[in-house]
Amino acid sequence: MMAMVFYLAKGSSMSLSKLPYKGTRDFFPTEMRKRDFIFNRMKKIAELHGYEAYDGPMVEEVELYLAKSGEELINEQIYSFIDRGDRKVAIRPEMTPTLARMVAQVHREFPKPLRWYAIPNLMRYEKPQKGRLREHWQFNCDIFGAPEALGEIEILQVASGLLKSFGATEEHFEILLNDRRLVDAFFKQTLNFDSERSHKLYKVLDKAKKVSNEALGKMLDELIPESVKKNQFVHYLNLKTFSDVDNFLTMYGLKDAAAGFVSFYKKLSSTGLSKIVVYDPTIVRGLDYYTGVVFEIFDKSPENRRAICGGGAYGNLLQIFNEPAMGGVGFGLGDVTLTDFLETHKLLPEFKAQDCDVLISYLEDSLEPQAFELAHKLRELNIKTELHLGEAKPKKVFQYAEKKGHKSVTIIGSEEVKNGSFEFKRLRDQEKAVISLNQLSELKEFLELTHG
């Protein structure tokens, strides 16, 4: 096989592409620092709310997605293939099916509610464009078995809390929200639609924001030829506030059927969320598995007017596994759309410098063992230490340290080794400190290190 490597290296026409697979990303150290910064905020906000981390495999058997999701997703967006054991498997396109499978396995062992979060990498066969890539990471938070309406409120707090933790406010984003119980009841009881017609109308609603008014009107003319029903539907489409919704439910006698939603928006008003949550009749979250509250978080900037996050309540996922029903509420928030949002509103710091405390260099090769020893001792004290390998001139060492963003530099000569003490230069202000081998923890104070 080595032969082949050499062959390729020699035959220039055979050289390989350096670029990542279409629609995926390479995370070089600067990008990775940004990603870690964002992921750490996700972990922090989840844990501040009592959520515990979980993870699952990056592939699942395809049946799992067939059982709970839209056919559209299976046919067009999923990365699926047959394995060598004739199993049909797929790279996970979303986390909720895996989550439901895992909760179905163990829910009896845990006190309720379960609060779980994850940040998996997911793949969908998308046409790459702004905000959409084939591989992304998605922050998922879910609560299972919470009392009615309260799980929904908490989940909205976690999702909006994440954005607020970056400094975003109601000027930057809003939560557009609806409820499948309301829509179901309205379609069935008021419009008197059977499930097939309801299904089609759901599809229209899901597209309502993406098409022109003319196109929308045409779709509605086809699907609702009856003028009374069409007027009722237009009434529905014009609902703008929870007070509008309350009147609408009363007028059509739907309050009982949508009681869970009524309870939700009444509780909502006593939380800090009511400023950022807006009722929106077109939010239905596609043909997905939701059964109650559904929501999307939208960027309010006209330059980046898109959903950053989607979620809602689902009542029936555990039943797919022959487990008793237990309601869940959750959301997924992708790193690509989140980063677009944060960059649109200039809510991210810069991530230029590596976080490294000290660079050690030495004047002669004979001092290498001492340099390795000093590095070892500093690392034992949790001091991030880079050893500049090989003999080097001090001037070059300092240039390198500046470029890499080191906090300090020490250069070992034979004098230093003889005295057992080293001069550390702090690059921020060029201050110096001489510290002996037995007192190396003084370097932490000198550099004002908070880690370790």
Interface positions, 47-76, toward a second copy (CB under 8 A): 47-50, 52-61, 63-64, 66-71
The footprint of a second copy on residues 137-156 (CB under 8 A) is 146-147, 150-151, 153-154
Instruction: Identify which of 310, 341, 314 has the alpha carbon closest to the alpha carbon of residue 325.
Output: 314
**CA neighbours closer than 13 Å in the CB half-sphere of residue 204:** 23
The nearer residue to a second copy, 287 or 433, going by C-beta atoms, is 287
| Strand 307-314, strand 328-334: pairing | antiparallel
Q: How far is the CB of 221 from a second copy (least distance, A)?
A: 25
- Residue placing its CB nearer to a second copy in the complex, 70 or 413: 70
Does residue 9 interact with a second copy by CB under 8 A?
Answer: yes
- DSSP assigned state of 289: S
Task: Provide the token pair at 446.
Answer: 């000198």
Q: Which one, 146 or 411, has the nearer CB to a second copy?
A: 146
The distance of closest approach from Cβ of residue 446 to a second copy in the complex, given in angstroms and rounded to an integer, is: 18
> In the stretch 15-34, what mask flags binding to a second copy with x, by CB under 8 A?
xxxxxxxx-xxxxxx--xx-
Residues 158-197 as x/- pattern, contact with a second copy by CB under 8 A: ---x---------------------------------x--
Residues 274-333 that bind a second copy (CB under 8 A): 287-289, 291, 316-317, 319-322
> In a 3-state reduction of DSSP, which class is residue 293?
strand
For 25, the token pair is 């990303």
Q: Shortest distance, CB of residue 247 to a second copy, whole angstroms?
A: 24
Q: Which is nearer to a second copy, 299 or 315 (CB)?
A: 315
Q: Of the ranges 79-87, 213-221, 343-351, 426-434, which one interacts with a second copy (CB under 8 A)?
A: 79-87
Give the range of 167-175, 219-227, 332-340, 354-362 binding a second copy by CB under 8 A.
354-362
SS3 state of residue 252:
coil
Please report which helix (H) or strand (E) contains residue 42, including its range.
Answer: helix 29-48
Site string for a second copy, 401-430 (x = CB under 8 A): --xx--------------------------
Please state the closest distance from residue 342 (CB atom) to a second copy, in A. Answer: 19
Residue 192 backbone zone (phi > 0: left; psi -120 to 50: alpha; other: beta)? left
Could you tell me the end-to-end alpha-carbon distance of the chain, in angstroms, rounded to an integer? 45
In this complex, which beta carbon is closest to a second copy, that of residue 221 or of residue 355? 355
Asked if 84 touches a second copy (CB under 8 A), the answer is: yes
For residue 376, what are the contacts with CB-CB under 8 A and spacing of at least 6? none
CB 77 to a second copy: min, Å: 10
Single-letter residue type at 412: I
Retrieve residue 176's tokens. 């557009």
For a second copy, the closer of residues 372 and 446 by Cβ is 372
**Which CB, 27 or 237, lies closer to a second copy?**
27
Footprint (CB under 8 A) of a second copy, residues 208-227: none
Shortest Å, Cβ 112 to a second copy: 9
119 lies in the binding site for a second copy (CB under 8 A)? no
- Separation CA 179–CA 195 (nearest Å): 17
CA nearest neighbour of 420 among 444, 395, 443, 440: 440
Figure out which of the listed residues 38, 42, 101, 443 binds a second copy, where binding follows CB under 8 A: 101
d(CA 57, CA 43) in angstroms, rounded, equals 19
203 binds a second copy (CB under 8 A): no
2 binds a second copy (CB under 8 A): yes
Part of the chain binding a second copy (CB under 8 A), chosen from 251-259, 263-271, 274-282, 440-448: 263-271
- Residues within window 362-381 making contact with a second copy, judged by CB under 8 A: 368-369, 372, 376, 379
Full DSSP string of 229-246 = HHHHHHHHHT--SHHHHH
- Count CB neighbours of 364 within 10 A: 10
56 vs 312: CA distance, rounded Å: 21
HSE-up of residue 397 (Cα within 13 Å, Cβ side): 21
Query: Minimum distance from CB of 414 to a second copy (Å)?
Result: 16
Residue 349 binds to a second copy (criterion: CB under 8 A): no
Q: How far is CA 329 from CA 77, 263, 289, 311, in A?
A: 24, 16, 11, 7
Q: Which residues pair with 121 in a beta bridge?
A: 137
Q: Answer yes or no: are the C-beta atoms of 400 and 350 closer than 8 Å.
A: no
Taking the C-alpha atoms of residue 45 and residue 147, their distance in angstroms, rounded to an integer, is 22
